[in-house]
Amino acid sequence: MSAASRVLCVDDETFNLTLLQALLEPRGYEILTAHGGEEALEVLARERVDLVLLDVMMPVIDGFEVCRRIKGVESTRAIPVVLLTALSGREDRIQGIEAGADDFITKPFDKGEVLARIQMLLKVKSLNERLRGAYDNILGLVSVGNDIIQAFDPLHFDFRTSVEAYAHRFIRGAGTEAEKPRAVLVGLSREDRTWSWRAYRISGEGVTKANVSPQLPAEALSSPESRLLCLNATDLEAPSGQWLRDALAPLGFGLTNAVCYLSQPLAVLILNYGRDVTEYDAAVLKSLVTQSLFLRSLAFQVSETENAFLYTVQALARAAEANDENTGNHIQRIGEYCAALARHLGLPEPYARALGIQAQMHDVGKVHIHPDLLRKKGYLTSEEWSEMHKHTLYGAMILGDHPRLQMARNVALSHHEKWDGSGYPFGLKGGEIPLEGRIVCIADQYDALRSVRSYKPALDHAATIRILLEGDGRTRPSHFDPEVLKAFEALHPHFDEIFQRFS
């Protein structure tokens, strides 16, 4: 039940205050009184006031000045002020309008007129408060939507978290208590066609959430078309709305009103505003649900595309290894090593994830190397090495210039370049080598030393670390970017774990 409207009556004459109090209190208004302008301002500073009846002719501070001060402060500006005055001249009315008065009543006043003016101004004030509350709610919900869109990562999008952000905003609300629902229920359908429900309610300074099991009839959630319901007390009493009241009663929800969005994948129930709900509330809910469902659909499509891209990358990488001594496990390990190094170097997570995928194509150019050369037992001649070196160029040619494969192209072309300039195909040195090439270089070298080759046995982890960190004549620490080598030294136990896991 809403609180009684509080009317502040201001006059320096006790008789007039008593007269107003006798008129208004029997009509359900709560009356505050002030003898003069100074006392009125003190009351306004500490009390909730819905309307001011203000005499004009008062000593010290007259009614015009009191009105100006009320309208000059943000906290009291929206309070309607009615000037009670025996002055009826045009200049007096202009002065009252300039002070910000909302209405005038001429003394001696008519009781019916006073009641009608008060009732009208309080109704306008209530409508303005609802409008401001609705506007603030829209701004808040738009802000939540902007935050969700700004942080939108289709590969890591959590639909429930998105919907939950809106539920929190609905509960916290804006404006008067009448503009805030008491609870929000969110239901998500599972693959087995059962439902997962959570209830959100305001508690102290925060919002609580709890798993619940409302017994909504199956037909309410099984329609292929979404449904939007706007139900007030009379609707909930009718058969068309009684099913909702009965379904939520076991959960302790005594329904007074509800706005519902019902569909096969999602149901949102916003319950018990402190006022009647309208089609406006339903439209706001529908808009927010539509945005969340769109983001979920977009995330699913992007994820499907990303999975197809990953499958294509791995298929191409495996095809390149078909005639080589390496196995599919080798390309998986390279991806894992490189992602770990990138993260340890403090590179952005999207870069680390991309490198973990695209590094697997480092040897894709081997599809252009003759199988006999790839399978040859023993050491290669200088001519054969020259031909083998071309796999870096072939790899760059295969991967082309598509922006999405730029990292893979850099890796294919530069993963055999050495920090000291002794690598191939271009003899690049230091920072001339793309960072991804520098990272893959040490990862590929580690895995090659750990793996069996026709010309050498597999080395254990300890021997491999010693060669990479100290050198063995053929491999030297100067081959590697010092920062990448330092990261490798810190991470090498993890490299051994990766090798064991993917062997």
Q: What is the pLDDT of residues 122-157, one digit of tens each?
A: 998 888 877 777 677 677 777 777 887 887 888 888
- Judge whether residue 347 has pLDDT over 50: yes
- Judge whether residue 1 has pLDDT over 50: no
Residue bearing tokens 């991470």: 491
- Judge whether residue 352 has pLDDT over 90: yes
Return the amino acid letter for 351: Y
d(CA 351, CA 355): 6
- Give the model confidence (pLDDT) of 55-64 as tens digits: 888 888 898 9
Mean pLDDT confidence for 202-206? 75
What does the mean pLDDT of the chain come to? 88
Amino acid 328: pLDDT: 60
- Give the model confidence (pLDDT) of 152-180 as tens digits: 888 888 888 888 888 888 887 766 677 78
Which of 79-83, 220-224, 331-335 shows the lowest per-residue confidence on average (mean pLDDT)? 220-224
- Judge whether residue 324 has pLDDT over 70: no
Mean pLDDT confidence for 68-92? 84
- Judge whether residue 433 has pLDDT over 70: yes
Distances (CA, A) of 226 to 260, 301, 400: 10, 21, 46
Mean pLDDT confidence for 396-416? 94
Greatest mean pLDDT range, 61-65, 105-109, 431-435 = 431-435
DSSP codes of every residue in 292-342: HHHHHHHHHHHHHHHHHHHHHHHHHHHHHHTTSS--HHHHHHHHHHHHHHH
Amino acid 221: pLDDT: 84
Greatest mean pLDDT range, 13-17, 120-124, 375-379 = 120-124
Residue bearing tokens 């009103």: 257
| Higher pLDDT among residues 489 and 452, named by residue | 489
d(CA 100, CA 43): 19
Amino acid 442: pLDDT: 97
